[in-house]
Amino acid sequence: MSTKFIIRIGPPWLTKYEKARIIGARALQLSLGAPPLLPVEEMGLRDPIEIASLELRYKLLPMVIRRWTPGGDYQDIPLKYLEIR
Amino acid sequence: MSGRRPVTEEEARALVEPYANVLPKSLVEEVVRKVVENKLTLEEARRVVDRVVLSYMKSLVDPGEAVGMVAAQSIGEPSTQMTLRTFHFAGVRELNVTLGLPRLIEIVDARKTVSTPIMEVYLEEGYKNSREKALEVARKLELTTIENVSRSITVDYIEYAIIIELDPEMLENRGVKPRDVVKALNRIKGKKGSVELNGLTVIFRTGLEDAIKLRRTYERVRNLRVKGVKGIRRAIVRYDEELGEYKIITEGSNLAAALSMEGVDYRRTISNNIHEIAEVLGIEAARAAIIREMMNVLEEQGLDVDVRHIMLVADAMTFTGRIRQVGRHGVAGEKPSVLARAAFEVTVKHLVDAAVRGEVDELKGVVENVIVGSRTVPLGTGIVKLMMLYPKIEAEGSE
């Protein structure tokens, strides 16, 4: 049986701040010329923020969030384990 | 088909059990109670529990939220609508409580001496339903000095004695007997003094030779405690409509003495002096008292502030284990960052002292980062640390 990934720090979902940060960072990358992970010509997408939001929604982004506790402890959580509200 | 039978309490509890760490205890109890009360089936109960957990999780604050700022504004804004009137206890002319803005400031400043200290003394079984018994306890609490029971107190400079004429009516009022007065005097008479009781006259021969000392003794005698608890100026018995019992309201607060008094219900008796509560009942009780008092002030003024903002203030004031004032001698003044303290009050002093000592500001908090203008302030989005995950290479790069 595969071991389930347990989130030790923070809520089991993606916080609104994490979501904003991710979309912002990805949109910045796209605006600087990074290749999109979606077929944007087909979908008629041109706005990097829009593209980034969809990439997040479809869980295409290979990103990890490092959540810290005030005590100095942290946990790396791949995006795929965080529910999107 | 499994019957539509209602779940038992054990089954309901078992359904909630896995979430017992997540949900607050009172919520767990309420869910179990409601499920049983409404005679839900196992399936229905399960759905209810799931829904409750979901709702609760959704109501939680996201980490990174500026709760302090929100709390400050949520308490501050309604405060601007507070009037500055003092309120009179209905029916009792002289008993004032500080309410409104002055009281709020008192609480938040963690003042050691309260302007109107008050205790609400609740009574035990056998005392709380009888007015006479309540009055008995009240008299035991109310401070009575020799002055309160005498018609006159005079100094005899020839005999170096103090002559006290007791007043029978006042004695009866306070429930004091002449020999109580004698007993009190005996406590301070010293080696050469003697006390003599003659009907309603008490002659205290001080055995002193110095007129100045005699004068001083006279003052001591006047204020000498005959009966009652130190600090309690008045004790009034009132009937509480809601609870259907008698309780005592005191002007003046001495929690330690009151709690150990016979007839007093030590579990319910409270004081409005936060420091006293911290001393006698502990810091957690003090935290609860801060919340109670602040909510009281706001509610009395007709303002509706969510309790969690006040809970945050109370927590900030007490989490170190002692009560800290919110100002520069407490919460704000104990911040590790120089810039944060300088931004609050006494700017120049903080900057100069820090420069002289060669202090380093680690820029870990919100205030200092805002001042410095750093790209990320550790609040909201600034708390998120993002990394890219490259599937082929196991190591992380940082964003």
CA distance B120 to B271: 6
Task: Enter the tokens of residue B55.
Answer: 């709702």
- Residue A56: pLDDT over 50: yes
Q: Which of B38-52, B164-178, B358-372 has the highest mean pLDDT?
A: B358-372
| Contact present, B176 and B139 (Cβ < 8 Å) | no
B-chain residues near A16 (CB < 8 A):
62
pLDDT in tens, B135-163: 888 888 888 888 888 888 888 888 788 88
Task: Quote the distance between the C-alpha of residue B305 and its chain's center.
Answer: 19
| CATH number for region A16-81 | 3.90.940.10
Question: Chains A and B: how many Cβ contacts under 8 Å?
Answer: 60
Residue B120 is classified by DSSP as E
Residues A22-28: contacts with CB under 8 Å, at least 24 apart = A22/A52, A22/A56, A22/A61, A22/A63, A22/A65, A22/A79, A22/B384, A22/B386, A23/A49, A23/A52, A23/A53, A23/A56, A24/A52, A24/B381, A25/B386, A25/B399, A26/A52, A26/A55, A26/A56, A26/A61, A26/A63, A27/A51, A27/A52
Predicted local confidence at residue B371, as pLDDT: 94
Mean pLDDT of chain B: 85
pLDDT in tens, B302-315: 899 999 999 999 99
* Band of pLDDT at residue A2, cut at 50, 70 and 90: low
pLDDT in tens, B86-126: 555 544 555 678 888 889 999 999 988 888 898 988 888 88
pTM: 0.81
**CATH class of this structure's domain B338-383:** mainly alpha
Q: Do A64 and B386 touch (CB under 8 A)?
A: yes
How many angstroms separate the CA of residue B387 from the nearest CA in chain A?
5
Predicted local confidence at residue B399, as pLDDT: 44
pLDDT in tens, A37-53: 999 999 999 999 999 99
Sign of CA dihedral B286, B291, B296, B298: positive
**Nearest chain B residue to A22, by CA:** B386
Percent of chain B scoring above 90 in pLDDT: 28
ipTM: 0.84
Task: Enter the tokens of residue B123.
Answer: 């009574």
**Nearest chain B residue to A78, by CA:** B389
Query: In chain B, which among 165-194 make CB contacts under 8 A with chain A?
Result: none
Domain residue ranges of chain B, discontinuous segments joined by +: 9-59, 144-227, 338-383
- Smallest Cβ–Cβ distance between A16 and the set B62, B391, B399 belongs to B62
Q: Is A84 on the interface with B (CB under 8 A)?
A: no
Q: Once rounded to an integer, what is the mean pLDDT over residues B321-332?
A: 89
Higher-confidence position of B244 and B397 = B244
What's the CATH fold of domain B144-227? Answer: Gyrase A; domain 2 (3.30.1360)
Percent of chain B scoring above 70 in pLDDT: 94
Q: Is A7 on the interface with B (CB under 8 A)?
A: no
Domain residue ranges of chain A, discontinuous segments joined by +: 16-81
